[in-house]
Amino acid sequence: MQARLSLTSKVLLFVSVPLLIQLGLLAALAHLQKQAEDALQASAHSKAVSEKIQEITSDIFEFSKRYRSQEALENTPLDDDIGRMLVAKVWHDYDDLKELTKAQPEIFSTVIASERTTKQALDIYRQIKEIWAKNDAGSLREKLILARRMRQGKMERIVNQLISISDEQKKVYDKAPEEQTIFRKKAQTIMFALGVFDLALGVLLALFLTKGITSRLQRVSENTSNLAAGLPLHPVMQGADEIANLDQVFHKMANDLKEAARKERAVVDNAVDFICTIDANNRLIAANPASNALLGMEPDELIGKYAIDLVTESNKSKAANFFEKLKTQEVTAPVELELATSKGETIETSWAAHWSQAENSIFCVVHDITERRRVEKLKQEVTAMITHDLRSPLNTVVNVLGFLEEVTKKTDDERAPRYIDMGRRNTDRMLSLINDLLDIEKIKSGNMNLEIKDFRIEHCFTSCEDLTATAAEEVGVKLNFTNCTTKVSADQNLIDRVLSNLVSNAIRYSPKGKAVEIFCDEADGFARIAVKDEGPGIPADEISTVFERFRQLKSGGAKNKGGSGLGLTICKAIVEMHGGKIWVESAGEGSTFFFTLPLSQKSP
């Protein structure tokens, strides 16, 4: 049956039913208690009526006893203190009895009749007393008549009627304990019966509720296990309560996960890169079809193999070290490894990997960089060939220009020195460009050798001033080198080149009459060298690109034309090779280039 009530409604309903039964039990007990109280009140009332009747009958007997004999009739007055007291007490008791029985019409009418008969009896006694006092022939006849009336037994009937009422009331009073016992037994029976019923009902409702909840929660739990194990799920649970909603949401989530997994699987299966999973023992446990194109092996052939077996002998230690550091998360950067294909060929690959502690596995994406490496190598070879082949004839041109310069000293033609100087400047620019290209390739290929030694920065300042002073004078820019005794550990020739390059750029961008400041300070174990100019500054959108290859400032104007665009790139590479950093700061007008070098560890 479809569960249309929420769990909250069900719980409230199942809790309310026993409570309602308990309320009914309390109502029944209250009714019995009311009956018992009414019975007690009736018993007390009957007792009071019986006692009051006994008092009246006692008074009547006392009165009749006093005036029963002939002597009493003749000698005992009715209006003495005792007589008046007895009469007053009788009427007072009758008043009390009438008050007690006014709600009981049958008894009340008997009491009224008894009271009336008592009054008549008292009148007869009074008449007898008056006749007795006359003592004549006529009075004798009246005495006989009154005596006959007395013998009719009115007083006895009165007393008998009252005694009968008293007996009935006494029976009511005597039955009170028995009725109380019956009430108590009924209450106990009802309490026990309803208690048992309430308990049984509560147990049944609890079983019904818990079974409905636990069985369906078990079904949801089984669905989670089935989802984790890749088994089919139970059908969607019908209903509108919380558990049914949970199951419906779970099925939707499971469908979404399956769809996401399908899409992910499709991406992995169709990926060009080789994607694989390696367990904690470095065995492959999953691979995508790209393995066939990369290694010439199907994914099933790779499962169970050690990843290290795919690597060439020369790279095995490098690969083992990479996998071990991955597990301790000491390294996250990609590594380049040479792999051996099923045909015995060697390919170069880049491994981007991530260690998952939860999965206890390494997830890898292997990209084939063989073609890229071949192109880079070819480019390096072409660049080297071109630069070397260009430098040789340029050196020859330089020598020829030098020879011509000596020859032109003997001629009067003014154009010859000017042409020779123009040729020299252009050949110098070409040689500088060729040298920059060679240095870039050396740095990129890792063939740039550093000759690290300790020296003072002021030596670099002196060399830079000697190289750039003439150029600064020609454009009217002043150079201010601050005294510096800081000692660093670096390749002095390369640092001279970095500093000269930065100062030359500052001179190029500085207006005539301005100054270029060169200074140095120390911080956090590094020397910080700065070159500050008063030029137009660098736009904010170009600051992040100034150190890129062949990048020239758009805002440099005519002064910026003719450069190779490699100077700052080489500066950055040289500084970073020493473990330092280089950056530029510019706000509005003027720019400041900073670079850092490690301080010397030896005492000055």
| Tens of pLDDT, residues 34-45 | 766 776 677 777
Establish if 109 belongs to a structural domain.
yes
Evaluate whether residue 563 is within a structural domain: yes
Nearest to 234 by CA among 478, 351, 225, 243: 225
Contacts of residue 238, Cβ cutoff 8 Å, sequence gap at least 6: 2, 3, 244
Q: Is the pLDDT of residue 221 over 90?
A: no
Report pLDDT digits (tens) over 378-400. 777 766 666 666 666 666 676 76
Residue 404 three-state SS: helix
Residues 6+ apart with CB under 8 A from 39: 176, 179, 180, 183
Same domain for 414 and 457, yes or no, is: no
Residue 397: count other Cβ atoms within 10 Å of its Cβ.
16
The more confidently predicted of residues 139 and 215 is 215
pLDDT at site 350: 92
Pairing of strands 478-481, 515-523: parallel
CA distance 239 to 308: 55
The DSSP secondary-structure symbol of 1 reads -
Q: Given phi > 0 = left and psi -120 to 50 = alpha, else beta, which region is 287?
A: beta
- Per DSSP, 296 falls in state S
Q: How far apart are CA 438 and CA 389, in angstroms?
A: 12
Judge whether residue 533 has pLDDT over 90: yes
Is residue 440 one of the residues assigned to a domain?
yes
> What range does the domain containing 405 cover?
374-444
Provide the CATH number for the domain around residue 506.
3.30.565.10
Is the pLDDT at 243 greater than 70? The verdict is yes
Question: What pLDDT shows up at residue 583?
Answer: 93
The mean pLDDT value for 86-105 works out to 80
Q: Other CB atoms closer than 10 Å to residue 483's CB: what's the count?
A: 8
Q: Is the pTM of this model over 0.75?
A: no
| Half-sphere CA count of 6, side-chain side, radius 13 A | 4
Over residues 246-258, the pLDDT tens digits come to 888 888 888 888 8
- Which pLDDT value is given to residue 183? 67
> Based on the domain organization, do 421 and 462 belong to the same domain?
no
421 and 285 within one domain: no
Alpha helices by DSSP H, 334-491: 370-408, 415-445, 457-474
pLDDT of residue 1 exceeding 50: no
pLDDT given at position 245: 81
Residues 336 and 383 in one domain: no
* 42 and 133 housed in the same domain: yes
Indicate whether 234 belongs to any domain.
Answer: no
CA 70, 74, 79, 81: dihedral to nearest 10 degrees?
A: -70
3-class secondary structure for 565-601? CCHHHHHHHHHHHCCCCEEEEECCCCEEEEEEEEECC
Mark whether 413 and 472 lie in a shared domain. no
**204: nearest Cα among 465, 17, 429, 402:** 17
Domain boundary among 368, 390, 420: 368
Q: Which two tokens stand for residue 542?
A: 């170009």
> Which of 325, 340, 368 delimits the end of a domain?
368
Q: Residue 200 class from Cβ within 10 Å (0-12 exposed, 13-18 middle, 19+ buried)?
A: exposed
DSSP 8-state class, residue 74: H
Number of domains in the chain: 4
What are the percentages of helix, strand and coil residues in the chain, rounded to 5? 65, 15, 20
DSSP lists the bridge partners of residue 348 as: 338
| 291 pLDDT more than 60 | yes
212: CB partners within 8 A, 6+ apart: 3, 10
Q: What angle do CA 469, 471, 472 make, to 5 degrees?
A: 65
Q: Is residue 565 scored above 60 in pLDDT?
A: yes
Query: How confident is the model over 126-179, as pLDDT tens digits?
Result: 776 666 666 554 555 555 555 555 544 555 666 676 677 766 666 666 666 666
On whether both 459 and 518 belong to a single domain, the answer is yes
Residue 424 and residue 432: Cα distance in Å, rounded?
A: 12
Same domain for 351 and 402? no
Indicate if 355 and 385 belong to the same structural domain: no
Residue 5 pLDDT level (bands cut at 50, 70, 90): low
Q: Where does the pLDDT of residue 557 fall: very low under 50, low under 70, confident under 90, or very high at 90 and above?
A: very low
| 500 and 573 together in one domain | yes
The answer to which of 307-316, 416-425, 558-567 has the lowest mean pLDDT is 558-567
Task: Identify whether 208 is part of a domain.
Answer: no
Residue-level pLDDT at 582: 93
**379 and 364 in a common domain:** no
Contact 50, 170 (CB under 8 A): yes
> Tokens standing for 245?
């909603």
For the segment 5-19, the average pLDDT, to the nearest whole number, is 69
Nearest CA to 94 out of 167, 169, 162 is that of 162
The Cα 589–Cα 536 span in angstroms is 5
Phi, psi of 334 (to 5 degrees): -60, 155
